[in-house]
Amino acid sequence: MPLGWRLGLTTSVIVTLVLGVLTGVVQKREIERGGEDRRLLLEQTLAPLAADVEEAPDLATVQSRLSHFQVAHFTRGHGSVRVLLLDATGNVVATPLTGPAPKPPKDALTARVPVRSRLLPGQQGALEIWQDETRFRDMAARRWRQWLLSLGVAALCILVSLYLAYVFLIERPLRRLLEGVKQMEQGYWSGLEIPRGAWEMRWLAYRFRNLGTQLEETVRRLVEAERRTFAGLRPVPTAAPVERRDAERAVPGASLQEEAFRKRILRRYLVARCRFLETREPSDAAARAAAYEVWERDVHEAQRLGESPLKSRLEDAAFRILEPDAYADVSRRAAGLTSSRRKWIRDREAELKSALADAGVKPRALQHRIKHLAGIWRKMKSKGLAIEQIHDIFAFRILLESEEECYMALSALHHRFEALLLRFKDYIAEPKENGYQSLHTCIRAPGGLVYEVQIRTVAMHAQAEGGGAAHWKYKKDGTVDTDTSEDDAPSGVLLSLSDALRRRGIGS
């Protein structure tokens, strides 16, 4: 049986059973209440007759009253109604008709009203009235048949509605999606059509299409990187523009000595802030206020100074104060990635050097860094990743002389190690908006841990660390700040510190 019918049948059976039980209980109570109301109505019709019987002087008068009551019901179409006068023991004393008293049917509706009369033995008795309930039972049976019919129609409507919803919202879009995936398997990665239907299916198709586009773009970049390995390459920009930009960033009217003095004072200030936070507990209110300022402002000042280690240290110190539980959790998880970080890094460095040597590439430098805890936590929160999915916790940087050697090194690493193709980025062929250039690739270590490798020339590295591609050139929203006159100026913290010291006669 197809999934749509199974889904519709299962749901309709469950819903029908629930509705059937609820509506059946309600209808049963309504029918019982209707029978009780009819019995009370019969009792009420006996009240005037009971008064006449109690006042009657003899049994003939009683029988006359009973006959009059019986005839009145007959003339009004209630021929199934019978009334009797009984004594305290239940024996018939008087009836409206001559002859033996009829016995009520098994399912007849019966009601009794007590009477007190001197004509009865012991002066106590009762008027009994009964009515044939055949019509009422037929009416109740019709109501149950209508209930069953409505329940069946509801179940059928639920079944058909769910099946149609499944076909139009799930089955057809899923079929189109599977057809697109088959096309992707055949090499047509970016041609997946987004089908109509449920938004979840459209979202899934959109994600598949993006994945196909990324695969196609990654393969294109890899092929282009291989081509560049063996083709003639354009000359690499020298570091001269970087130095010229650094000179242009100098504050008008300020000497190099003053600029160096201000930066030295700012660094001392940031180090003091860092030590203050590292010696305080998260429960300290002053430490929390300082940590917030460090997180929002001082880390950017450290980045502007080019003090990346100090920036990481400041972030970790503020992170420990502001989010102590998250800090402990990330610290524990990061420590569990490797048994010995130093040995793991030495092994990876040896592997990278061996692969480069086999390819005839001699690096100018091979650097490494471990992502600090605040950076790991920030990436986990912003991208919704587990710590095992963050591939740049451990990163290596290879500095080379020429762009040609960069692509040769990339080819050597991809031939030697298992690379994650979707993580490959060629920022040399396609630089970032701020001019950043480098090759980024991710490699899986023998133990399964993934690490990042950046490959760039010395000039590209100088551009990335101190030129227009420096991290501090970015605003908080990730866009490039093009207003260099304002961005390159000394920060307010730096100016206020240096001015305060100058007023005290320090550094003048």
In this predicted structure, what is the pLDDT of residue 32? Answer: 86
Q: Pick the residue with more confidence: 176 or 45?
A: 45
How many CB atoms are located within 10 Å of the residue 89 CB? 8
How far is 294 from 270, CA to CA, in rounded Å? 9
DSSP string, 450-500: EEEEEEEEHHHHHHHHHSTT-GGGB-TTS-B---HHHHTSPPHHHHHHHHH
Does position 260 have pLDDT exceeding 90, yes or no? no
Residue the block writes with tokens 């041609």: 191
Tens of pLDDT, residue by residue over 134-174, are 778 888 889 899 988 988 888 888 888 888 887 777 777 77
Dist. CA 62–CA 146, nearest whole Å = 46
191 and 276 inside one domain: no
Shared domain for 67 and 171, answered yes or no, is no
Q: How many CB atoms lie within 10 A of CB 342?
A: 8
Q: Interior CA angle at 305 toward 299 and 310, to 5°?
A: 50
β-partners of residue 261 are none
Give the number of domains in the chain.
Answer: 3
Which residue has better confidence, 142 or 209?
142
Q: Is residue 508 part of a domain?
A: no
Cα(490)–Cα(53) distance, integer angstroms? 116
Asked if residue 171 and residue 98 are part of one domain, the reply reads: no
Tokens 């009520």 belong to 104
Asked if the structure places residue 454 within a domain, the reply is: yes
Strand, helix or coil at 327? helix
Q: Provide the angle, in degrees to the nearest 10, between the axes of the packed helices 3-55 and 134-166.
A: 160
**Residue 131 backbone phi and psi in degrees, to 5:** -140, 135
CA distance linking residue 28 with residue 31, whole number of Å? 5
Q: What is the CATH number of the domain that holds 99?
A: 3.30.450
Parallel, antiparallel, or unpaired for β 365-370 and 394-400?
Answer: antiparallel
Sign of CA dihedral 190, 192, 194, 199: negative
Q: Do 232 and 186 belong together in one domain?
A: no
CA distance 294 to 406: 38
Q: pLDDT averaged over the chain?
A: 79
- Asked if pLDDT for residue 458 goes beyond 90, the answer is yes
- Whether 336 and 434 map to the same domain: the answer is yes
Residues 418 and 359: beta-carbon distance below 8 Å: no
Least confident of 207-216, 356-365, 482-491, 494-503: 482-491
- The reported pLDDT for the residue numbered 255 is 67
**Tokens 């690499």 — which residue?**
236
Q: Assess if residue 281 is contained within a domain.
A: yes
For range 404-430, the mean pLDDT: 89
Helix (H) / strand (E) containing 357 = helix 341-358
**Rounded to the nearest 10 degrees, what angle do helices 3-55 and 59-75 cross at?**
140
Examine residue 101 and state whether it is found in any structural domain, yes or no. yes
Residues 61 and 171 grouped into a single domain: no
If asked whether residues 385 and 314 sit together in one domain, one would say yes
φ/ψ (deg, to 5) at 376: -65, -45
State which of 191, 215, 239 marks the end of a domain. 215
pLDDT beyond 50 at 386: yes
Identify whether 185 is part of a domain. Answer: yes
Report, as an integer, the average pLDDT of 432-453.
91
Whole-angstrom distance, CA of residue 42 vs CA of residue 36:
10
Residue 206 CB contacts under 8 Å (≥ 6 apart), including other chains? 194
Confidence of residue 331 (pLDDT cuts 50, 70, 90): very high
Read off the pLDDT band of 71 (50, 70, 90).
Answer: confident
Asked whether residue 446 is assigned to any structural domain, the reply reads: yes
- For residue 349, what pLDDT is reported? 95
Q: What share of the chain is helix, strand, coil (3-state, %, to 5)?
A: 60, 10, 25
CATH of the domain at 453: 3.30.460.10
Average pLDDT over residues 305-332: 92
Q: Do residues 494 and 266 touch, judged by C-beta distance below 8 A? A: yes
Distance CA 405, CA 233 (A): 10
What pLDDT score does 378 carry?
92
The DSSP call for residue 231 is S
Task: Give domain status of residue 33, yes or no.
Answer: yes
User: What number is the average pLDDT over the span 202-228?
Assistant: 69
Say yes or no: 202 and 222 in one domain: no
Spatial contact of 233 and 224, defined as CB atoms under 8 Å apart: no
Bridge partner residues of 112 (DSSP): 128
Burial of residue 213, with CB atoms counted within 10 A of its CB: 0-12 exposed, 13-18 middle, 19 or more buried: middle
Question: What spatial distance separates the first Cα and last Cα of the chain, rounded to whole Å?
Answer: 90
Which of 99-103, 112-116, 370-374, 388-392 has maximum average pLDDT?
Answer: 370-374
Instruction: Tell me the pTM.
Output: 0.55
Domain hosting 304: range is: 216-503
| Whether residue 157 is found in the same domain as residue 232 | no
Residues 188 and 249 occupy one common structural domain? no
Among 67, 97, 132, the domain boundary falls at: 132
Co-location of 125 and 229 in the same domain: no
**Could you tell me which of 314, 270, 266 has the C-alpha nearest to residue 497?**
266
Listed range (90-94, 367-371, 375-379) with the worst mean pLDDT: 90-94
Distance CA 272, CA 260 (A): 18
Q: Are 125 and 142 in a shared domain? A: no
Query: φ, ψ for residue 385 (rounded to 5)?
Result: -110, 155
* Gap between the Cα atoms of 126 and 83, Å rounded: 10
Please report whether residue 227 resides in a domain.
yes
Q: Tokens 């701020």 map to which residue?
A: 434
pLDDT at 345: 93
- Cα of 336 vs its chain's centroid, Å: 28
Confidence band for 13, pLDDT divided at 50, 70 and 90 = confident
| Residue after which a domain boundary falls, among 192, 215, 238 | 215
